[in-house]
Amino acid sequence: MSGSLAPRQLALALDHSVSFAREDFLSGPSNLAAFTLIDRWPDWPDRIVALVGPEGSGKSHLAAIWAEMAGARILSARLLSLTDVPSALATGALVVEDLQAASLDEQALFHLINLARQEEAYVLLTGRLAVAGFPVTIRDLASRLRAVPTVVLTPPDDALLRSLLIKFAADRQLALDEPLVNYLVNRIERSFAAARAAVQKLDDEAMRQHRPVTRALAAELFRTP
């Protein structure tokens, strides 16, 4: 029928590689303290330290950099169990990722901290909230968590947000020009997760419409009320 709209094409669900290499980590005021902590290992204030920050703030990237340096295993906190603690510390270094109070195995974490200190192993904890505030029932665990040195990753400033948008686009083989980057910086949330989501949204919509990724497309997707 003349004048009818052509059917929209579905974007293919493609995997986009994300590099956790040291040279691909983007440093700025929001994560400099955390990056410095990782970089100065083994000169840490304690053998057990924590990185805390919002989703997508770079915790996993920094943990991967340190794991490569220290020969550490990386274990999701939800998989930490009492019986697995000795094997988790087998290399003398361990990353425990995404530690959350709601799903915490207190006995396992308590045993992990005690064994790590006994064996002089290094442990890097990551999570969205500071472990010192976890409402644990084991009193000795509470005191140990309060003693863990913690570095907080904060939201990125404008310069880092620009760099993140360019990097996430490059991961998808996209090139963003300066006007488009500036437009996005002024309209998205100041967070790593928002930058990644904005680039994905642009990429997906460009594929569906068979259009280039431009400021005009961004204006359609990120109009402010």
Please report, for the domain that includes residue 192, its CATH number: 1.10.8
pLDDT at 3 over 50: no
Instruction: Please say which residue of 115, 132, 152 terminates a domain.
Output: 152
At residue 198, the 3 state secondary structure works out as helix
CA 110, CA 215: separation in Å to the nearest integer?
Answer: 52
Instruction: Please say which residue of 152, 184, 212 terminates a domain.
Output: 152
Please state, as a whole number, how many other Cβ atoms lie within 10 Å of the Cβ of residue 225: 2
Return the pLDDT at 18.
Answer: 62
Reported as a single tens digit per residue, the pLDDT across 166-186 is 999 998 999 999 999 999 999
Q: Is residue 1 part of a domain?
A: no
Position 16 confidence tier, pLDDT thresholds 50, 70, 90 = low
Q: Is residue 207 part of a domain?
A: yes
Q: Which residues touch 188 (CB under 8 Å, ≥6 apart)?
A: 161, 194, 195, 198, 222
Position 204 confidence tier, pLDDT thresholds 50, 70, 90 = very high
Reported as a single tens digit per residue, the pLDDT across 76-132 is 999 999 999 999 999 999 999 999 999 999 999 999 999 999 999 999 999 999 999
The answer on 130 and 202 residing in a single domain is no
Reported as a single tens digit per residue, the pLDDT across 50-79 is 999 988 788 999 999 999 999 999 999 999
The answer on 121 and 194 residing in a single domain is no
The answer on 216 and 119 residing in a single domain is no
The whole domain housing 112 covers: 22-152
Reported as a single tens digit per residue, the pLDDT across 30-53 is 999 999 999 999 999 999 999 999
